[in-house]
Structure 1
Amino acid sequence: MKIAVMGAGAVGCYYGAKLAQHGYDVVLIGRPQHVRAINKNGLHFESGGTSTMIALAASIDPAAVAGADIVLFCVKSTDTASAGAAIAPHLGAHTVVMSLQNGVDNAERLGAIIGRSVVPTVVYVGAGMAGDGHVAHFGRGDLVIGPNDASDMIAQTLRPAGIPVEISKNAQGALWAKMILNCAYNALSAVSRLPYGDLAKGEGVMVVIENVVAECLGVAGALGIIVPGDVREAVAGIIKTMPAQYSSTAQDLMRGKPSEIDYLNGYIVRKGGEMGVATPANQVLYTMVKLLEMQPEQTVQG
């Protein structure tokens, strides 16, 4: 079994590490500084109080997906189009492509680019890059995928590697549930530069989060999306399960990089406008992050 990870950031490196530890042939495709470090020393993987160096292949060339049975597509939503076009010529006829990305429309956008169905995948993992070729895992690691011809194969491949996989008939609703979590915390963590546990202690923060969640559910309802589970309970639970985790938006801004906010709170604002649903709380958070993106140097130094 060969597995290629397109986008060797925190999420890609975490799942690549788990799969390589299980013995699969894994190649990580990522930025030059990470690739150099991994090819020189292996992937430095921290999880559960242990620190391990894992030997696996790494490349900066999207053509490295050639021959892969499964491609874990883990790039930022902003890079879906360019990365999809880069790997498309190198995909095998039977290669299964999974979109492990934030937002709710990446699988559809990617599928249109590569000319095949893409498995929408909801990711629940706390991880961050602690240095070049160094990933730190903070919590969870489970995936939710939609039902299709490859679902059973994916589950049978990933579960033995210690990656819980749930096959859901409502994958779109599950993607929305995850996006609502991101809308609730990502921008606030980025603006405050605080992890979730500390963030939640701020005066008025939980009121803002409740307003954001209510707006998101209003937009979902207007679009006919059934969001599974108790979203408010799940939002509250993040504080307990990932208290030390910084949002991906915060991590991006602290590195002076553009974030995925257009595909999170920004998506809610756009869809709310289309459906006639007011989204003032999401609008404020979206605008604040966009302002910070205009000042990356100040964000890094903050």
Structure 2
Amino acid sequence: MTQSLKVAVMGAGAVGCYFGGMLARAGHEVVLIARPQHVEAIERDGLRMETRMFDEHVRLAASSDPAAVKGADLVLFCVKSTDTESAGALIRPHLAAGTLVLCLQNGVDNADRLRAVLPGTAVAAAVVYVATEMAGPGHLKHHGRGDLVIEPSTRSDSAAQALVAAGVPTEISANVRGALWAKLILNCAYNAVSAIAQLPYGKTVQGVGVVDVMRDVVAECLAVAKAEGVQVAGDVHVAVEKLAASMPNQYASTAQDLARGKPTEIDYLNGLIVKRGDALGVPVPANRVLWAMVKLLEGKAAAA
């Protein structure tokens, strides 16, 4: 086994529980910093990991206190993009000098925003490809994939080695910005549509005209990326076509948030494309409509 790490997961929802749970199964010392209902269930029964490969209860620590990051070699930073700065400020006093904070978040600018809050701390962006949900308190359900692309840093190699040994395919890439944009474009194509319709990916693409809307969204995103000087990784059109087939039963995180009456990350997905498109003079009407519709539903859920 690789050297045992002390790992803290800040914002242990579905993504954090999956990767933290995989590291705990491999023998690393893991603490999940999560909401009280999850902490209570995990302390009592362990984290139930119902994955495509196994279904078991994994024993690991859980806390609702951000101070639980103290002494961690690796922090998996998994909070919503709306909470990046506030959560970063909560953990800042407790981070050790040699800690690596790995951003496992949607959007393209979280690592930069976090570096501003955590000066002197090693922060690396990561692109996350996993379909998961919390099926109940302390109960993780895994629907597919589970791999990471990590930005190079002084401590990325040891983190990647630990993740690979734990069964998490992990690649270190010099073009994480391009990979983050590729993931952003996938999210822009699927998240709002899944959220508005409250349907999983496989059903959304069967809707009349939806594939054409998604194609328009992708074209706008690529135009904004080009204006930004970003070299988007891979063939995004092919990736968008394949996603519904690879995760047909997955609801977008935006759809899950709306269904629970929680704020979404739409401002950091289609909303970011709108913001950057306006600043750069790139027309983005399809993204603007999807962003506006989700914001409308978000407001409706908040009022209810």
| Structures share fold, TM-score greater than 0.5 | yes
Query: 1:75 and 2:79 equivalent?
Result: yes
Q: Secondary structure at the match of 1:118?
A: strand
| Structure-2 residue corresponding to 1:43 | 47
The answer as to whether partners of 2:122 and 2:153 remain within 8 angstroms in 1 is no
Distance 1:82 1:298, change over 3 A: closer
After TM superposition, the structure 1 = structure 2 runs for residues 216-255 of structure 1, keeping only pairs within 5 Å, are: 216-255=221-260
| Structure-2 residue corresponding to 1:6 | 10
Gaps (5+ residues) in structure 2? none
Structure-1 separation of matches of 2:116 and 2:39? 29
After TM superposition, the structure 1 = structure 2 runs for residues 186-201 of structure 1, keeping only pairs within 5 Å, are: 186-201=191-206
Letter in 1 for 2:205: A
Structure-1 separation of matches of 2:74 and 2:209? 44
Deviates more, 1:245-254 or 1:50-59: 50-59
| Structure-2 residue corresponding to 1:163 | 168
Q: Secondary structure at the match of 2:130?
A: strand
Q: Secondary structure at the match of 2:234?
A: coil
Structure-2 separation of matches of 1:129 and 1:136? 6
Moved over 2 A (4+): none
Q: Secondary structure at the match of 1:3?
A: strand
Query: 1:276 and 2:276 equivalent?
Result: no
The answer as to whether partners of 2:221 and 2:273 remain within 8 angstroms in 1 is yes
Distance 1:166 1:49, change over 3 A: closer
Letter in 2 for 1:37: A
| Structure-2 residue corresponding to 1:210 | 215
| Structure-2 residue corresponding to 1:147 | 152
Gaps (5+ residues) in structure 1? none
Structure-2 separation of matches of 1:121 and 1:21? 21
Letter in 2 for 1:74: C
CA shift for structure 1 position 298: 8.8
Letter in 2 for 1:6: M
Q: What is the identity percentage for the equivalent residue pairs of Structure 1 and Structure 2?
A: 61
Q: Secondary structure at the match of 2:262?
A: coil
TM-score by length of 2: 0.97
CA shift for structure 1 position 146: 1.2
Letter in 1 for 2:147: D
Residue-by-residue CA offset, 1:34-68 (whole Å, 9 max, x unaligned): 11111111111101163211111000000000010
The answer as to whether partners of 2:262 and 2:302 remain within 8 angstroms in 1 is no
Deviates more, 1:150-159 or 1:103-112: 150-159
TM-score by length of 1: 0.97
